[in-house]
């Protein structure tokens, strides 16, 4: 390849492309191509010759790209002899298809800018009288217009040669001339005017609206989808544009702007603001003047067109806005778009200059190759960052639309949908323009009242976006009709199952199991008793029974009585449950004696026991005073098509019918009161029968019931097994919170199917015991969005377990959509799936019209599973359950969703402020209502925030309170905990002077501050931890709660901990201590002090014993850590946590700390003493030793003794310890030295105490302020320690080292220090095997603290690995 | 300009051009750049080329675009018009 001559700079256009290509290596998106078809006989040699001449004349094609320093340059060279192959496709079966395939492939062949030619040419023989001329060129050398100029020149030469004439002289300007045009412009006053224009135009930075929410990518590959633009559409476009004095490209641009705005705003969060402007990218030819007009070089300039667009605008107005805007653009089109990006600061900040591009290519071709006409087809017009609508009307070729979409931001499917849809919308737009071309000011709107004779035509918002094809497709996705007997009730299904398998195991908890026959028999007894108390169809019976076999008896019993059950979850606060009872006014309650005190029961509420005993009532009245339970609150009208539920009539023996309520569950209400959802039998029957079909179960299966009974997931857990004839395993109360207990139950009991809310599944997957659950055939998830990586982690852990994702509100009988994750590619998201039987899913936008596939809408549901309504709340019922003329009775979920092209639905969030916390549905308004009602609170707002806590993104509720005086978070928290469920109590409280508001007076959520890690209340009065275990537990609490520290007497749950965090705490403590830590222990002892006490076995070592295990468990040889000067080994607790979980750690402390024993006086004696203890704990080597400070000296001494004994020491770690020789000549230590050593031991830098005498009092105070466990030691111990320090210091000076022949790893505290004579090399005489030295940038005191201790742990971990 | 008749003089041309750019004839000076000063677009320019062709004058878009002024366009038309028109 020719080297090239003098370097020329690149044009602005070339520079932009060059830089973009650097980021997108190998991208073929920068190659423009076209195919010209000559329809008639041609002399191929003549044609080839003409092409060669024309191409040779285009200097810009024959350059070598290079860099001069950092900047790119181009070096022109002689054209040389480039290939012009002639490819014969005449014998192909389908030559046209062959041409298409050949040109596509040739166009996309990779091009290496460093070595390859920038263009390729070829001739293709299609038929005897048809020849195709293929050209491709890198965008750096020419643009689409440039290719057409080359074609024009070739035609001119060819026509002349064919006549035997001399071709006209060459007219392509030189590369230099082209560059000159650009520099002349830059130096001209016009450039200054253009710059001012653009700055003014973009003084207010635009908000870019586009059709993807995926971020900009460096790649430029595109998906391409085509659609024809038929002749009458083109005629319509011309007529319509004429009517408004516009050109048809301008009308098309207006249609694109409208389409983009509409597609991007079909539905959204109620706080979202609809954009009032769309910014399109318009590629301008920018060829002004004779040179630019004739140069093949790349000149195309993409500039932004800001189109003001309001929902109420008429299409004709939008066209006028475009024509006005384009005038401004044209006048200033020489100003480069690349420059504009830099000017308005958008470059590199990921801020685009414009949204989708509109590229209209109506080049005037009229090419003539010696009388043979030519038809052009452009194959690729250049790179696309986002989306481009390319409209081609090139004379003889049929007009078409190409939609090109950046592959990093759009899928192929959705690109195809845009291409399918836009021509339809374009037509509707043009028709609307033609129907009402008059400008806004002149329009006569029809009179407000009276019949509308002259329909004004659609506005921008009124334009229909869906195509008939996609509406048909959506209808197909909703064709879910399945034959289910509409008269069936849940009781029918239960009875049938009992009849089929009376003696099969129905329910089991632990050792206690019952058969179907037994269960039904007991339920029948209860049902009879309940009927006597007034239960029957349309009535409600509350159930307060802990999770047990009796719970099933109670629920089935209530159902058999004909009534609906209202479950009272024992974990909910009594006040909340009482509220539900007051609202629902049940006719009776079934209460397990253990829960007699659960609720302040309403007076005279008749009670029954699960056994059927119905003597007496709860509440104050006695049986004799009981008045037969009054009628339940009116149940609202039943589902669409079914007869309304009758007010309880005089025939209580009537059995429940399909339209009668089966259960009532309460959900959070946005104004403060929970609302009761009434679900009829027919609804839940459909749901259960669908599940039984979708998840086949049979002999060998066992289904787990663990979800608290107040959540509707429990409904299928409870009843599906009882209708399928498969045993139900009931988890003991509380087990649902403990992933380890669950794993053990699942594996131990042989559970094959169970449910998890995703946040709990995440904990389960992290739980080591879960790996044993290989018998689990299926996991069902619902309640929260299921992240793709959680699915992938479950698959990795349990490859034989299927995963299904379900979605649905309580108002639609538990779940309405389903997705089977089995074939999901790893890393992809999980949709909520497809509708279940007899259910319709409708993604609707404004005015309840369906939105196009891929656009966001609000999800509305229809079908058999809809609830009857909200108990006693006709206003709420009417608002949520709407009779739609087209869809029948629907329920609006408030969820945002969209259809995928494959018919699955994706969940996109909420319209409002309802949130899910750990799977529980919460209206933030309900929490706000309770807060505002609290004394001392003027205003309150509750939002769900996602913050990073303990290394993970966590969603939690945060309360912002404007208090009357001061905000007492503790009191507020306690108050809320008494009234609201666990998940509804905010995790953090922030006091504000005022709530921030937006311009429109609404709460400005974005302006709410992040909650700070709060200081523990009364932290200065709180005592420091009293033992290493306490310190460790408090540390784990602090980490999980996102706080700096937690005092040992602070209650984990009051500080914002909840059950999920408790499970994580238990897991972490288990790993850190190597000891059993159950969640139950945490609930029973929720402070660090209490829990540490519980965890410390009275028979085990006390904190001051010589042998102090820091971590037990694990099968490796323990790491023995020798105490530093003060004699205490607690300093190693932090390091212990960072070492692998199966690495036991034992600290060896000084004799005499607790006042007992005779302390040895020489280091040698101490070392020998420790050797005896070590050998007692671990009789055989290899031995692993570590010591900090004096502990290091001791460790070396111990190592030497063990070696003498013939034992193997394979790890000796010295932490900033220096041999005795280096201390020998110092003066004997005084008490102040001992105190300094004490401070150092505690990791407290003595320098922080400043000048002034060091006294024991000052030192102890400093330690206490630091929260060190040392400060809690009594006077005696501190005295003993000071004595130990003095003794150790003396012992150090007299010690003579014995040599150790192994090696050691040494950690030096390399920060500058006063003792500058300390030198690690001093060890070499005593550690003969060599030293591996690691220097850390910290002081001696900081070595065992984060972050430096992490480095030490990282170095040690591989050394401690099980020996080879 | 009617379908087949050419403008008879520069002023008539000016009136036609004014129509193309949405201005009045007296606003457009002979030497005004029709693109940079009057935002003439290529679609309308192409339509104008088409009408010229129908009236018997062959000027291509490139030539019109070289010097997009009323004065230059008039010179082109005057030299290319068929005899007798």
Task: Please tell me if residue B66 touches chain A, with a CB cutoff of 8 Å.
Answer: yes
Picking from A252, A293, A358 by the largest number of B CB atoms within 10 A of its own CB, the best residue to mutate is: A293
Contact A829, A466 (CB under 8 A): no
Report how far residue A395's alpha carbon sits from residue A383's, in angstroms, rounded to the nearest whole number. Answer: 25
Contact A326 B39 (CB under 8 A): yes
Q: Say yes or no to pLDDT of B4 above 90.
A: no
CA nearest neighbour of A602 among A624, A614, A617: A617
Which of the residue ranges A588-597, A877-886, A944-953, A1070-1079 would you say has the lowest mean pLDDT? A944-953
Count CB atoms within 10 A of the CB of residue A323.
Answer: 21
Task: Note the helical H segments in A563-680.
Answer: 574-584
What is the Cα–Cα distance from A414 to A419, expressed in whole angstroms? 9
CA separation (Å) from A1359 to A443, A569, A1193?
Answer: 85, 52, 20
> What's the rounded Cα separation, in Å, for the pair A847 and A832?
25
Higher pLDDT residue, B44 or A859?
A859
pLDDT at A1242: 62
CATH second-level architecture of B10-80?
Answer: Orthogonal Bundle (1.10)
CB contact under 8 A, B42 and A285: yes
CB-closest option in B41, B61, B66 to A326: B41
Q: Which residue has the higher pLDDT, A1142 or A435?
A: A435
A1171-1175 contacts: CB < 8 A, separation 24 or more? Answer: A1171/A1198, A1171/A1201, A1171/A1202, A1171/A1205, A1173/A1106, A1173/A1107, A1173/A1148, A1174/A1120, A1174/A1148, A1174/A1198, A1174/A1202
Question: Residue A196 CB: number of other CB atoms within 10 A?
Answer: 12
> Regarding predicted confidence, which is higher, A766 or A861?
A861
Euclidean distance between CA atoms A1261 and A217, whole angstroms:
57
Average pLDDT over residues A869-888: 94
Q: A806-815 burial, b for 16+ CB within 10 Å, e for fewer? A: bbbbbbbbbb
- Asked whether the beta carbons of residue B46 and residue A331 sit closer than 8 angstroms, the reply is no
The model's confidence at residue A1012, banded by pLDDT at 50, 70 and 90, is low
- Residues on chain A touching B45 (C-beta within 8 angstroms): none
Asked if the C-beta of A467 comes within 8 angstroms of chain B's C-beta atoms, the answer is no
Q: In this structure, are residues A1106 and A1323 in contact, taking their beta carbons and an 8 Å threshold?
A: no
Say whether pLDDT at A1 is over 50: no
Q: Which residues of A864-882 are buried (b: 16+ CB within 10 A; e: fewer)?
A: bbbbbbbbbbeebbeebbe
Average pLDDT, chain B: 87
Categorize the per-residue pLDDT at A847 as very low, low, confident or very high, splitting at 50, 70 and 90: confident
Whole-number pLDDT of residue A270:
78
Closest CB to B36: pick one of A247, A250, A288. Answer: A288
- Would you call B61 and A287 a contact, using CB atoms and an 8 Å cutoff? no
Predicted local distance difference test score (pLDDT) of residue A491: 97
A1340 is catalytic: yes
Pairwise CA distance, residues A706 & A1139, whole Å: 35
If you write DSSP's letter for every residue of A359-421 in order, what string do you get? Answer: EEE------EETTEEEEEEEEE----SSEEEEEE--TTSPPEEEEEEETTTS-HHHHHHHHHH
Pairing of strands A588-591, A605-608: parallel
The answer to whether the beta carbons of residues A1208 and A1182 sit under 8 Å apart is yes
How large a percentage of chain A has pLDDT more than 70? Answer: 88
Is B66's CB within 8 Å of A190's CB?
no
User: What is the pLDDT at residue B58?
Assistant: 87
**Res A1138: pLDDT:** 81
Q: Which of A681, A1123, A1340, A1348 is catalytic?
A: A1340
Residue contact A289–B66, C-beta within 8 A: yes
Give the pLDDT confidence score for residue A629 in this predicted structure.
29
Is the CB of A362 less than 8 angstroms away from the CB of B41? Answer: no
Nearest-neighbour CA in chain B from A360: distance (Å): 10
Q: In angstroms, what separates the C-alpha of B62 from chain A's closest C-alpha?
A: 7
**Of the candidates B67, B80, B46, B42, the residue with the CA atom closest to the CA atom of residue A366:** B46
Under an 8 A CB cutoff, do A190 and B41 touch? no
For residue A367, give the chain B residue with the closest CA. B60
Q: How far is B64 from chain A (nearest CA, A)?
A: 10
Mean pLDDT of A183-203: 91
Task: State the pLDDT at residue A347.
Answer: 44
Q: Is the pLDDT of residue A90 over 60?
A: yes
A1057: Cβ–Cβ under 8 A, 6 or more apart, which residues? Answer: A1037, A1040, A1041, A1065, A1086
> Among residues 278-297 of chain A, which lie with CB inside 8 Å of chain B?
285, 287-290, 293-294
A1182-1205 average pLDDT score: 93
Interface of A with B in 315-354 (CB under 8 A): 326-331
Q: What is the mean pLDDT of chain A?
A: 85
pLDDT band at A321 (very low <50, low <70, confident <90, very high): very high
Q: Which own/partner contact pairs does A504-508 have at CB distance under 8 Å and 24+ positions apart?
A: A504/A725, A504/A727, A505/A727, A506/A552, A506/A721, A506/A722, A506/A727, A506/A728, A507/A549, A507/A552, A507/A721, A507/A722, A507/A727, A507/A728, A507/A730, A508/A549, A508/A727, A508/A728, A508/A729, A508/A730, A508/A749
- The answer on pLDDT for A1113 being more than 80 is no
Is B43 touching A (CB cutoff 8 A)?
yes
Question: Considering only A778-782, A846-850, A1099-1103, which range has the smallest mean pLDDT?
Answer: A1099-1103
Mean pLDDT, residues A12-38 taken together: 81
Q: What is the pLDDT of residue A1031?
A: 84
The pLDDT value given to residue A647? 43
C-beta of residue A1340 within 8 angstroms of C-beta of residue A1318: no
Confidence of residue A456 (pLDDT cuts 50, 70, 90): low
Calculate mean pLDDT across residues A637-657. 48
Closest CA relative to residue A639, chosen from A886, A883, A843: A883
Residue A1112 has pLDDT above 80, yes or no: no
Percent of residues, chain A, with pLDDT higher than 90: 50
Q: How far apart are CA A210 and CA A196, in angstroms?
A: 27
pLDDT of A995 higher than 90:
no
Judge whether B58 is closer than 8 Å to chain A, CB to CB: no
Token match 């020849």: residue? A131
For A274-278, what is the mean pLDDT?
A: 89
For residue A566, is pLDDT > 60? yes
Least confident of A121-125, A926-930, A1210-1214, A1256-1260: A1256-1260
Query: Cβ atoms within 10 A of the Cβ of A1093, count?
Result: 15
Strand order, beta sheet including A605-608: A617-618, A605-608, A588-591, A540-544, A564-567, A661-667, A675-680, A869-870
Is the pLDDT higher at A1273 or at A434? Answer: A434
Nearest to A989 by CA among A971, A965, A964: A971
- For residues A415 and A238, what is the distance between their CA atoms, to the nearest angstrom? 26
Contact B36 A331 (CB under 8 A): yes
DSSP state of A572: S
Please report the pLDDT score of residue A439 as a whole number.
Answer: 84
Q: Which of A248, A255, A232, A247 is nearest to A314 (CA)?
A: A255
Question: In the numeric block, which tokens belong to residue A661?
Answer: 């309520």
Distance (Å) from the alpha carbon of B49 to chain A's nearest alpha carbon: 10
Q: Can you tell me the mean pLDDT for A1264-1268?
A: 60
Coil/strand/helix, residue A200? helix
Q: Would the pLDDT of A441 be above 90?
A: no
CB of B41 within 8 Å of a chain A CB? The answer is yes
Q: Report the pLDDT value the prediction gives residue A1057, as an integer from 0 to 100.
A: 77
Residues of A in contact with B35 (CB under 8 A): 288, 330-331
Q: Are A661 and A584 in contact (CB under 8 A)?
A: no
Residue A1072 class from Cβ within 10 Å (0-12 exposed, 13-18 middle, 19+ buried)? buried
Instruction: Please list every residue in chain A whose beta carbon sits closer than 8 Å to the beta carbon of residue B44.
Output: 247
Q: Is residue A7 less than 8 Å (CB to CB) from chain B?
A: no
From the centroid of its chain, how far is CA A619? 48
pLDDT of A480 reads 96
Confidence tier at A395 by pLDDT (50, 70, 90): low
Query: H-type helices in A505-605, by residue range?
Result: 516-532, 549-560, 574-584
How many angstroms separate the CA atoms of A218 and A196, rounded? 30
What number is the ipTM of this complex?
0.89
Compute the distance between CA of residue A423 and CA of residue A259 in angstroms, rounded to an integer. Answer: 11
Cβ–Cβ contact A747 with B under 8 A: no
Residue A565 reports pLDDT greater than 50: yes
How far A184 CA lies from chain B's nearest CA (Å)?
A: 16
């Amino acid at each position: 390849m020719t080297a090239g001559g003098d370097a020329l700079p690149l044009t602005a256009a070339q520079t932009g492309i060059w830089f973009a290509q650097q980021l997108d290596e190998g991208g073929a998106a920068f190659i423009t191509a076209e195919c010209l078809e000559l329809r008639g006989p041609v002399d191929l040699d003549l044609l080839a010759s003409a092409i060669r001449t024309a191409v040779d004349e285009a200097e810009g094609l024959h350059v070598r790209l290079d860099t001069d320093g950092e900047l790119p340059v181009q070096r022109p060279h002689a054209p040389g002899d480039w290939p012009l192959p002639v490819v014969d496709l005449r014998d192909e079966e389908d030559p046209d298809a062959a041409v298409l395939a050949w040109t596509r492939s040739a166009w996309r062949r990779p091009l290496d800018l460093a070595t390859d030619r920038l263009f390729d040419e070829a001739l293709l023989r299609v038929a005897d009288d048809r020849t195709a001329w293929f050209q491709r060129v890198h965008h750096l050398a020419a643009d689409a217009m440039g290719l057409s100029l080359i074609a024009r020149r070739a035609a001119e030469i060819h026509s002349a040669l064919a006549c035997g004439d001399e071709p006209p002289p060459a007219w392509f300007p030189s590369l230099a001339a082209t560059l000159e045009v650009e520099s002349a412009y830059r130096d001209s006053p016009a450039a200054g005017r253009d710059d001012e224009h653009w700055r003014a135009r973009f003084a207010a930075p635009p908000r870019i609206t586009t059709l993807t929410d995926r971020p900009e990518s460096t790649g430029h590959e595109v998906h391409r989808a085509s659609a024809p633009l038929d002749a009458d559409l083109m005629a319509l476009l011309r007529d319509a544009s004429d009517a408004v004095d516009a050109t048809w490209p301008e009308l098309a641009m207006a249609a694109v702007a409208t389409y983009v705005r509409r597609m991007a705003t079909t539905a959204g969060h109620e706080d979202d603001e609809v954009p009032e402007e769309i910014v399109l990218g318009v590629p301008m030819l920018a060829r002004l003047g004779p040179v630019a007009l004739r140069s093949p070089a790349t000149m195309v300039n993409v500039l932004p067109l800001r189109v003001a667009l309001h929902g109420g605008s008429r299409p004709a107005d939008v066209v006028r806005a475009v024509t006005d805007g384009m005038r401004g653009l044209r006048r200033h089109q020489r100003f480069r778009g690349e420059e504009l990006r830099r000017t308005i600061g958008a470059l590199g900040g990921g801020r685009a200059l414009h949204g989708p591009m509109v590229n209209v290519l109506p080049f005037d071709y009229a090419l003539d190759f010696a009388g043979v006409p030519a038809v052009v087809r452009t194959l690729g017009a250049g790179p696309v960052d986002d989306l481009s609508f390319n409209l081609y009307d090139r004379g003889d070729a049929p007009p078409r639309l190409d939609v090109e979409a950046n592959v990093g931001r759009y899928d192929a499917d959705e690109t195809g949908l845009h291409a399918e849809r836009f021509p339809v919308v374009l037509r509707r737009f043009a028709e609307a323009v033609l129907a009402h071309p008059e400008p806004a000011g002149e329009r006569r709107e029809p009179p407000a009242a009276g019949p509308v004779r002259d329909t004004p035509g659609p506005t921008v918002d009124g334009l229909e976006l869906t195509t008939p094809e996609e509406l048909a497709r959506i209808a197909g996705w909703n064709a879910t009709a399945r034959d289910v007997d509409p008269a069936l009730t849940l009781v029918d299904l239960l009875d049938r199952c009992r009849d089929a398998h009376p003696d099969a195991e129905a329910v089991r908890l632990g050792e206690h199991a019952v058969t179907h026959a037994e269960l039904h028999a007991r339920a029948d007894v209860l049902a009879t008793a309940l009927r006597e108390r007034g239960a029957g169809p349309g009535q409600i019976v509350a159930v307060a029974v802990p999770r047990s076999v009796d719970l099933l008896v109670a629920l089935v019993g209530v159902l058999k009585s004909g009534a609906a059950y209202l479950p009272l979850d024992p974990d909910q606060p009594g006040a909340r449950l009482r509220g539900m009872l007051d609202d629902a006014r049940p006719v009776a309650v079934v209460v397990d004696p253990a829960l007699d005190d659960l609720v302040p029961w309403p007076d005279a509420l008749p009670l029954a026991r699960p056994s059927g005993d119905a003597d007496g009532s709860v509440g104050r009245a006695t049986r004799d005073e009981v008045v037969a339970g009054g009628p339940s609150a009116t149940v609202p009208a039943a589902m669409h098509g079914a007869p309304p539920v009758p007010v309880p009539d005089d025939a209580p023996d009537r059995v429940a019918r399909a339209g009668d309520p089966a259960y009532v569950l309460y959900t959070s209400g946005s104004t403060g009161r929970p609302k009761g959802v009434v679900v009829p039998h027919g609804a839940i029957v459909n749901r259960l029968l669908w599940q039984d079909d979708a998840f086949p179960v049979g002999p060998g299966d066992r289904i787990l019931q663990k979800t608290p009974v107040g959540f509707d997931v429990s409904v299928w857990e409870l009843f599906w097994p009882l209708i399928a004839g498969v045993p139900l395993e009931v988890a003991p109360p509380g087990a649902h919170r403990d992933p380890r207990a669950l794993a053990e139950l699942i594996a131990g009991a042989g559970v094959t199917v169970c449910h998890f809310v995703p946040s709990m599944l995440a904990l389960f997957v992290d739980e080591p015991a879960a790996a044993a659950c290989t018998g689990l055939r299926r996991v069902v998830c619902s309640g929260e969005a299921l992240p793709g990586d959680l699915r992938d982690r479950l698959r990795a852990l349990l490859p034989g377990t299927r995963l299904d994702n379900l979605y649905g509100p309580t108002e639609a009988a538990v779940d309405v959509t389903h997705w089977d994750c089995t074939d999901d590619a790893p890393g992809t998201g999980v949709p909520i799936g497809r509708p279940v039987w007899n259910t319709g899913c409708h993604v609707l936008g404004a005015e309840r019209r369906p939105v196009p596939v891929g656009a966001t809408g609000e999800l509305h549901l229809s079908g058999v599973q809809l609830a009857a309504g909200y108990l006693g709340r006709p206003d709420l019922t009417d608002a949520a359950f709407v009779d739609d003329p087209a869809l029948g009775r629907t329920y609006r979920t408030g969820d945002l969703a969209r259809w995928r092209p494959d018919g699955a639905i994706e969940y996109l969030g909420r319209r409002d402020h309802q949130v899910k916390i750990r799977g529980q549905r919460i209206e933030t308004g309900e929490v706000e209502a309770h807060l505002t009602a609290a004394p001392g609170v003027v205003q309150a707002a509750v939002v769900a925030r996602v913050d990073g806590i303990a290394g993970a993104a966590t969603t939690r509720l945060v309360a912002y309170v404007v208090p009357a005086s001061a905000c007492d978070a503790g009191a507020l928290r306690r108050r809320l905990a008494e009234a609201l469920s666990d998940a509804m109590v905010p995790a953090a409280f922030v006091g504000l002077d005022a709530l921030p508001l937006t311009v429109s007076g609404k709460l400005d959520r974005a302006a709410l501050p992040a909650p700070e890690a709060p200081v523990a209340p009364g932290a200065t009065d709180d005592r420091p931890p009293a033992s290493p275990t306490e310190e460790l537990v408090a540390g784990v609490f602090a980490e999980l709660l996102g706080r700096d520290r937690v005092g040992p007497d602070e209650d984990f749950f009051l500080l914002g901990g909840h059950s999920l965090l408790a499970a994580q705490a238990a897991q972490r403590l288990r790993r850190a201590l190597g000891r059993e830590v159950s969640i139950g222990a945490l609930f029973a002892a929720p402070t660090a002090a209490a829990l540490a006490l519980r965890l410390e076995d009275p028979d085990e070592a006390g904190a001051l014993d010589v042998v102090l295990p820091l971590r037990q468990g694990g099968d490796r040889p323990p790491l023995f850590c020798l105490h530093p000067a003060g004699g205490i080994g607690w300093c190693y607790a932090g390091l212990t946590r960072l070492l692998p979980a199966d690495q036991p750690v034992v600290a060896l402390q000084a004799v005499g700390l607790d006042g007992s024993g005779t302390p040895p006086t020489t280091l040698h004696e101490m070392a020998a003493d420790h050797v005896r203890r070590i050998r007692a704990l671990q009789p055989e080597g290899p031995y692993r030793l570590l010591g900090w400070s004096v502990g290091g000296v001791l460790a070396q001494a111990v190592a030497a003794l063990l070696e003498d004994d013939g034992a193997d020491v394979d790890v000796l770690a010295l932490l900033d310890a220096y041999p005795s020789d280096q201390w020998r000549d110092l003066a004997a230590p005084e008490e102040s030295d001992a105190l300094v050593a004490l401070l150092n031991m505690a990791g407290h830098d003595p320098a922080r105490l400043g000048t002034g005498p060091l006294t024991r009092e000052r030192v102890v105070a400093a330690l206490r302020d630091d929260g060190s466990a040392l400060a809690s030691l009594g006077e005696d111990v501190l005295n003993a320690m000071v004595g130990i320090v003095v003794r150790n210091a003396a012992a150090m000076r007299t010690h003579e080292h014995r040599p150790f022949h192994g090696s050691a790893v040494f950690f030096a505290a390399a920060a500058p220090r006063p003792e500058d004579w300390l030198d690690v090399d001093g060890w070499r005489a005593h550690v003969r095997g060599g030293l591996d030295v690691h220097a850390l940038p910290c002081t001696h005191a900081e070595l065992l603290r984060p972050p430096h201790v992490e480095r030490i742990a990282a170095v040690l971990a591989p050394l401690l690995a099980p020996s080879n | 300009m009617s379908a087949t008749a050419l403008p008879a003089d520069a002023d008539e041309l000016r009136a036609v051009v004014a129509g193309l750019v949405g201005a009045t004839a007296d606003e457009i000076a002979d030497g005004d750049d029709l693109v940079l000063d009057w935002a003439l677009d290529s679609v309308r320019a192409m339509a104008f080329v088409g009408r010229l062709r129908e009236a018997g004058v062959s000027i291509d878009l490139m030539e019109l675009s070289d010097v997009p002024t009323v004065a230059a366009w008039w010179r082109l038309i005057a030299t290319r018009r068929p005899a007798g028109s």
